[in-house]
């Protein structure tokens, strides 16, 4: 059993439920938030070891803004989980210095590999993520410099 706690920030119940089932199967404890505002509050209250963050969320703030607030205040690594790969989102997301960008739909193995890699980095620049630590399956999206984590190549 892992002692790490993961905050899942996802506003689509079906997607959040599947991610949480996977995390439970992997042995992680987790909590959920369905808005960016709730994610910031829970990050402050719970201090999770990792945040899995959707980008487009209901509410006044999106996942990128929430990630920026969370990483600057609490030094918690963020892995974006999103269906969006357009230039605007990528450029904004990379300003938050995320662990990565896992494109939906992803499979259980991809999710586990990325979480496990973050966990294995140990005591780096944040509680889970060592500086410059990247998964072997990472591809860079265009010239953006943000890691794109997927078993399939969506960008040419």
Q: What is the pLDDT of residues 3-46, one digit of tens each?
A: 789 999 999 999 999 999 999 999 999 999 999 999 999 999 99
Number of domains in the chain: 1
Structure confidence at residue 71 (pLDDT): 93
Within-domain flag for 47: yes
Position 155 in a domain: no
Give the distance, in angstroms, between the CA of residue 107 and the centroid of all CA atoms in the same chain.
15
Q: Is 50 part of a structural domain of the chain?
A: yes
156 occurs within a structural domain: no
pLDDT-derived band at 109, boundaries 50, 70, 90: very high
CATH number of the structural domain spanning residue 13: 3.40.50.2300
Q: How far is CA 118 from CA 14, 35, 88, in A?
A: 25, 24, 26
Let me know if residue 26 belongs to a domain.
Answer: yes
Say yes or no to pLDDT of 88 above 50: yes
For the sheet containing 100-103, what is the strand order? 29-33, 5-9, 50-53, 78-82, 100-103, 147-149, 138-140
Phi, psi of 101 (to 5 degrees): -145, 95
For the chain, what is the mean pLDDT? 81
Say if residue 83's pLDDT is above 80: yes
What pLDDT score was predicted for residue 124? 42
69 domain-assigned: yes
Residue 129 covered by a domain: yes
Measuring CA to CA, which residue among 148, 153, 152 is closest to residue 134? 148
pLDDT at 89 over 50: yes
Q: Which domain holds residue 72?
A: 5-149
Q: Is residue 79 in some structural domain?
A: yes
pLDDT in the model for residue 2: 64
| DSSP-based three-state secondary structure for 42 | helix
Whole-number pLDDT of residue 23: 96
Strand pairing report for 138-140 and 147-149 = antiparallel
d(CA 139, CA 116): 18
């Amino acid at each position: 059993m892992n002692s790490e706690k993961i905050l899942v920030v996802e506003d689509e119940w079906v997607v959040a439920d599947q991610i949480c089932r996977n995390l439970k199967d992997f042995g992680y404890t987790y909590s959920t938030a369905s808005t960016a505002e709730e994610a910031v509050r829970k990050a402050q209250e719970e201090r999770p070891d990792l945040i899995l963050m959707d980008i487009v969320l209901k509410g006044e703030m999106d996942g990128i803004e929430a990630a920026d607030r969370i990483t600057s205040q609490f030094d918690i690594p963020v892995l974006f989980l999103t269906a969006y790969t357009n230039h605007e989102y990528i450029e904004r997301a990379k300003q938050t210095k995320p662990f990565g960008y896992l494109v939906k739909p992803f499979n259980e193995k991809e999710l586990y590999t990325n979480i496990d890699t973050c966990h294995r980095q140990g005591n780096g620049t944040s509680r889970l993520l060592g500086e410059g630590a990247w998964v072997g399956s990472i591809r860079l999206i265009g010239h953006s410099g943000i890691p794109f984590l997927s078993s399939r190549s969506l960008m040419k």
